[in-house]
Structure 1
């Protein structure tokens, strides 16, 4: 059986005033061609199909288009909810989508048997059993206990998630035995693991409660398809535990990454091979850095990346200690007549004034509560011990507020 593993599409993302609609439309068309060219039996999207819990109408249309076109191509689809996805939004259409060979698991199911799914090949024969595990919210697997320290909460949540994985895996084994078929077992997940390398567009999932899930706590599945981290990578160097990464760059620090989806081949013995399919760049992004003289040359060079009808989206990092009140005007004059569009200008300076100026150019959508708090701490002359105590206390308060709101 051949499975295509992807994640973190973030349909509906609003990127510094720009829509990603055209990119996602091109991505769907490209994906459908890959499904046909490589005879893919099933597609797994491991979380964050949408960017927000209330996606715009065009994002929902793209979602529906993906489902319909995969069905037409004879390919099954499994969608797992991510931390950006709304359980209600994903859940509202899943009975209908089931008729189109699309299985949606928005959240942890009350009946865990519902998270054990058989993926069929194109000919209708069973090809694999999936432990279909979405983003796990703490309230789904854990009851908060009064008086627990932040460290105790972290340990409790980690243990609860590990127990959930083991419980679903045992049900998958039982399902395989009941079918009396030699089928590989695949697990999914939407979480950060120990050692995974993230990017600035990845938001913290477990506020003050779980930093990273240890790979040793995963069950011995033949392949583990993960989402949440946007950089494609093996986890702990292990071939069978993979982040496929996001298919398009979702922040400027992802601009240099080669985005990809993964072809996963399995048979009745287990994992056969994992092959990366590079995703074309549907919109050029670039981040350049230097003083004004260096930037002028860099902008000229970057403009060569533009296509006939599509300018390059640009982030400019200005080096230097001199304060320039006309910085925006200077950058604009450098780009005049060139096929580039500057979306963000930042100052790369070490003093506190420069840090505040750079922060002023960031929107709240780009920052987590912890980013804001840390930026405020950076303005104070604090020793590391006190800084750590304040950070721990802040995380504890945010966690308590989050649990109260749930």
Structure 2
């Protein structure tokens, strides 16, 4: 059996105020072709289908189009809810979908698998929706569920009970932060990195494969426990991370192989650093005029209307930051210390400029102007 593992679609999320709907539609088209070309039997979507608990109508339309297209390849589609989704809204759609598209959002049904058969027999798919301990503990009053680790451990216990009740191979689908994840891989916005929300790896013992969602970069936590990441870049911090999905193959004995399938990036992301003039150089513009651009300009002084100037050359400049470069001989004293040591007005102005310019004092021309102004003031005061 061939399984395509994807997650974190975040339909409806914007990129620095720009819609991502058209880009996602393009990526979903490529994903559908991968399913068709690789004879995929089951597509697994491990949570965060939507970016909001109250998605706009266009998000529902895009989701419906994507699920129907995947189903028309002949593949079974199994979807679980994530922390961004409204399980109730996503679950309501399940009743309206055709046979072969399963939306699993009910925590009380975790131990009841969706069964798909191949030549080697049944494969049981156990869907674990995102579990907020304070919300789901009402379903299991016998358990002590204060943390995500405790809650996922209990849910995986239900999965193992389900595995024991049913013959065949098994796949678990969940949305959480597993121990061992590389924290540079694109963590979800609301993931707390403290110990309370970390789920130990041994919690996932049992199934032949565990398809996880919740972080936006691909991760292999173990040979059979993986994150696929998001299919689209949603921040400049993710720009160097590949986008794609895992193609998982099960044979009669369980997990046989896992292969990464790259997805296209509709518009590349790039971070350009240097003075504003360097960022606007002919070479940079020629290379990145069609990219999403984050511009970090290092001029000592904040420039006038940098975003307007950048967008004249980079229509897709989404972000601009001023980070003055720090001189090697920066005065390490605090601003208050420099003021106490200042003797003249010139010293005080220089201390202020260094303070607001991250260590950069007055330029030669500025020093001349400061002297002229102070001299004029002195002459005026002498005449009074």
Normalised-by-shorter TM-score class: 0.7 to 0.9
Among 269, 293, 301, which residue is 1:314 paired with? 293
| 1:293-314 deviation digits (Å, cap 9, x = unpaired) | 44234x84364355xxxx3221
Give the whole-Å Cα distance in 2 for the aligned partners of 1:221 and 1:27: 29
Do the aligned partners of 1:233 and 1:244 also contact (CA within 8 Å) in 2? yes
**What RMSD, in angstroms, separates the aligned Cα atoms of the two structures?**
2.7
Give the TM-score, by structure 1 length: 0.72
Give the whole-Å Cα distance in 2 for the aligned partners of 1:334 and 1:62: 32
| 1:45-96 deviation digits (Å, cap 9, x = unpaired) | 0001111111111111111111211222111000010000011210111012
- Could you say what secondary structure the match of 2:259 adopts? strand
- The residue that corresponds to 1:215 in the other structure is 201
Give the whole-Å Cα distance in 2 for the aligned partners of 1:317 and 1:8: 29
| 1:124-175 deviation digits (Å, cap 9, x = unpaired) | x8541122112111134436xxxxxxxx986x54223212211222212212
Among 166, 180, 184, which residue is 1:175 paired with? 166
Give the TM-score, by structure 2 length: 0.76
Answering whether residue 318 of structure 2 is matched by residue 323 of structure 1, we say no
Give the whole-Å Cα distance in 2 for the aligned partners of 1:103 and 1:126: 20
- The residue that corresponds to 1:73 in the other structure is 73
- The residue that corresponds to 2:332 in the other structure is none
- The residue that corresponds to 1:304 in the other structure is 287
Give the whole-Å Cα distance in 1 for the aligned partners of 2:285 and 2:127: 42
Answering whether residue 248 of structure 2 is matched by residue 264 of structure 1, we say yes
Residue 318 (structure 1) shift: 2.3
Q: How does 1:204-283 map to 2 (within 5 A)?
A: 204-205=190-191, 210-235=196-221, 238-283=222-267
Residue 15 (structure 1) shift: 1.6
Give the whole-Å Cα distance in 2 for the aligned partners of 1:251 and 1:303: 23
Give the whole-Å Cα distance in 2 for the aligned partners of 1:335 and 1:20: 19
Residue 200 (structure 1) shift: 6.0
Give the whole-Å Cα distance in 1 for the aligned partners of 2:148 and 2:26: 39
Q: How does 1:359-370 map to 2 (within 5 A)?
A: none
- The residue that corresponds to 2:178 in the other structure is 193
Q: How does 1:13-52 map to 2 (within 5 A)?
A: 13-52=13-52
> Any unmatched runs of 5+ in structure 2?
139-143, 327-384
Do the aligned partners of 1:141 and 1:164 also contact (CA within 8 Å) in 2? no
- Could you say what secondary structure the match of 1:245 adopts? coil
Residue 214 (structure 1) shift: 1.0
Do the aligned partners of 1:245 and 1:259 also contact (CA within 8 Å) in 2? yes
Q: How does 1:143-154 map to 2 (within 5 A)?
A: none
Do the aligned partners of 1:201 and 1:250 also contact (CA within 8 Å) in 2? no
| 1:23-53 deviation digits (Å, cap 9, x = unpaired) | 1111121111111110000100000111111
Answering whether residue 151 of structure 2 is matched by residue 160 of structure 1, we say yes
Do the aligned partners of 1:7 and 1:49 also contact (CA within 8 Å) in 2? yes
- The residue that corresponds to 1:345 in the other structure is 320
Answering whether residue 121 of structure 2 is matched by residue 136 of structure 1, we say no
Answering whether residue 271 of structure 2 is matched by residue 287 of structure 1, we say yes
Among 116, 119, 123, which residue is 1:119 paired with? 116
> Any unmatched runs of 5+ in structure 1?
144-151, 177-182, 352-406
- The residue that corresponds to 2:366 in the other structure is none
| Larger radius of gyration between Structure 1 and Structure 2 | 2
Q: How many residues align?
A: 321
Do the aligned partners of 2:231 and 2:243 also contact (CA within 8 Å) in 1? yes
Do the aligned partners of 2:132 and 2:148 also contact (CA within 8 Å) in 1? no
| 1:232-258 deviation digits (Å, cap 9, x = unpaired) | 0111xx211101111111111111211
Do the aligned partners of 2:187 and 2:214 also contact (CA within 8 Å) in 1? no
